[in-house]
Amino acid sequence: MGEGIRGIRGDDERESRDFGGGALGLRTGSYGSLQNPVLQQQNCNGVSVSVQSSPVVIRKIQKMSVSGSREKERFLPWISKLVGRKNVGMLVLAIISIVALLTILSAFSKEEVASEGPELYSRSLNSFLSNQKPSISPPNTFSDPLKNKNDFNETLKSERQSPTSKNIFSQGYFPIVNESLYSSRRYCEEIAFSPPPPVNRKHTGPRPCDVCYVPPSHAMIFMPTLPSVSPILKELNYFTESSFNGSIEGSQFSGQPSLQQRNDSYDLKESMSVHCGFYKGNKPGIGSGFDVDEADLHRMEHCRGVVVASAIFGNYDVLQQPKNISELSEKTVCFYMFVDEVTEAYMRNTTTLNSDNRAGIWRVVVVHNLPYADARRNGKIPKLLLHRLFTNARYSVWIDGKLELVVDPYQILERFLWRKNATFAISRHYKRFDVFVEAEANKAAGKYDNSSIDKQIEFYKNEGLTHYSEAKLPITSDVPEGCVIIKEHIPITNLFTCLWFNEVDRFTSRDQISFSTVRDKIMSKVNWSVGMFLDCERRNFVVQAYHKDLLDQKMRSIQLPPVNTKPLPEIVPRALIQFPLRKQTLRKQPRSSRHRHIRAGNYI
């Protein structure tokens, strides 16, 4: 009996020594010697794992494996007896087949959930942050039908089907939606506003302040899939030549609306018809005044996403090339520069315009049959009526011809429209916020005929225009800096710019004077407002240059040293020149003090 017990104990000791050696090996491995190969392999596969594992857990696993092997040895004979019976064997096989079937079905369901997971996450998170119903999809954008290009969405579809092609998805233009996308926006929302630097001797004028932008590829993702809701007004139509009433107010380009029609245009309804330029012709740009080539108009109609536009008339400004534009914007944003024939001729002479009517990133559109003699008034047509030229565009960024764009358009739209759920944004004036003060400043600077400005201000006073005060808050200013306009093309914003243009057509071309009147009349009828941001924020994404005439004045003011126009003296041969003889003076020899002079009578 004792020998049997000792035999059993010896077997247990041998087993414990065998498994104990393994446990000791794993213990040293838990500190890094055996786990490193696994870590390197997992890192090569792109999976992040922990570097250390607990040694206690490893020893427990080995002990459980010993007891598990003994249990299997006890259980296997009993299972073999049961399986030998016919009925029990069939039952076990049925259970195994059912388990296998359920495993296969669960695997398929997990793949479907995994594929839908990121999309559902991005939709819900995006909806939570922006209070919209967006889905992550690329925007409709510009395509050139004259060069046999397909629609942008078709291009995306074909590129997605060919994973080996070098397309914009492989370069990261449409990133995967993850937490970093939203953390960049949250960071910008939480960052404190920093005012512009103080004025010093070198910089005495207004200066830009810091503005936080999300990356361009992130900004594009925040573009709402659906247009914003237009309050009250859902359908906006425009009067044509058939409705001319013989009024003498305004110009023929605007249709000369009467004062009664002007007042009716502020009575907002679900469906409205208003005057909005391009009164003649079959369509804007064709026989309507401000005419463009049909090829250019066809291209503009196919711009379905974002358009950046500017204009130079009368060769008044120097063409500025945008900077810091992402490859995404170069491929998907329409950049259009409107010029007249005088400016076109100058650009061709200076070789800034190629044969395809492109100047850098700008596509240059030459405008014929301009409706106004004043170049400044002609410039208000593309500035305020872009929605009539780009009928399918969703968003537009207007910059005056003297400005240089230095920030990506998607970043500007995200910062000033999408982040604030706004549909129209413009900067306020850096110094003036009262219309009456603005009018006096225009008169003092000779911007326009003083009597015309006085007539316009008197008309607005009779309609109820007052000085700006805190009673108008949250409106922060009545005077905009109108050189930049950021706009979503929906009926209410289109109505605002149409009526604003009608004021410019009826009165002076100084749009800062008429801005607040149009805004306040619309705001009195509908819950809608114009977003006004700081002028120092505007100066962050555009750099202002001088007008061309001011540059010429500065060049003329630089005084060059006068050129010596006196004739050169006649060249005479050196041999013929008689030089005066100088009188030579004999130099006396100095007397040496070493020699001793002996006089008579002096003896030693």
Please give the backbone phi and psi of residue 398, each rounded to the nearest 5 degrees, phi first. Answer: -100, 135
Pick from 290, 299, 388, 288: which is nearest to 336 by CA?
A: 299
CA distance 476 to 434: 10
Largest CA distance in the chain: 175
Query: Which element (helix H / strand E) includes 426?
Result: strand 424-428
CA distance 392 to 191: 36
CB 423 within 8 A of CB 552: no
Task: Note the pLDDT tens digit of each residue in 30-49.
Answer: 333 333 333 333 343 333 33
Rounded to 10°, the helix 86-130/179-190 angle is 30
DSSP string, 240-302: -GGG-----SS-TTTT---HHHHHHTTS--SEEEE--S--SSSBTTBSSSSB--HHHHHHHHT
Terminal CA-to-CA distance of the chain, rounded, Å? 157
Q: What is the mean pLDDT of residues 163-173?
A: 35
- Percent of the chain at pLDDT > 90 equals 50
CB atoms within 10 A of CB 513: 26
Task: Note the pLDDT tens digit of each residue in 103-113.
Answer: 777 765 544 44
DSSP-assigned beta bridge partners for residue 480: 428
pLDDT-based confidence at residue 321 (cuts at 50, 70, 90): very high
Q: Which two tokens stand for residue 503?
A: 């004021």
Residue 331 has pLDDT above 50, yes or no: yes
CA distance 588 to 599: 23
Please give the backbone phi and psi of residue 571, each rounded to the nearest 5 degrees, phi first. Answer: -80, 120
Task: Note the pLDDT tens digit of each residue in 219-267.
Answer: 999 999 999 999 999 999 999 885 555 554 557 899 989 999 999 999 9
Task: Note the pLDDT tens digit of each residue in 275-313.
Answer: 999 999 889 999 999 999 999 999 999 999 999 999 999
pLDDT-based confidence at residue 5 (cuts at 50, 70, 90): very low
Q: What is the pLDDT of residue 215?
A: 93
Q: What is the pLDDT of residue 303?
A: 96
CB 59 within 8 A of CB 23: yes
Pick from 413, 388, 378: which is nearest to 491 by CA?
A: 388
Is the alpha carbon torsion for 140, 141, 147, 149 positive or negative? negative
DSSP string, 356-391: TSEETTEEEEE-BS-S-S-HHHHHHHHHH-HHHHST
Task: Note the pLDDT tens digit of each residue in 354-377.
Answer: 888 999 999 999 999 999 999 999
Q: Which two tokens stand for residue 475?
A: 């409106």
CA distance 70 to 74: 6
Please give the backbone phi and psi of residue 55, each rounded to the nearest 5 degrees, phi first. Answer: -70, -30
pLDDT-based confidence at residue 91 (cuts at 50, 70, 90): confident
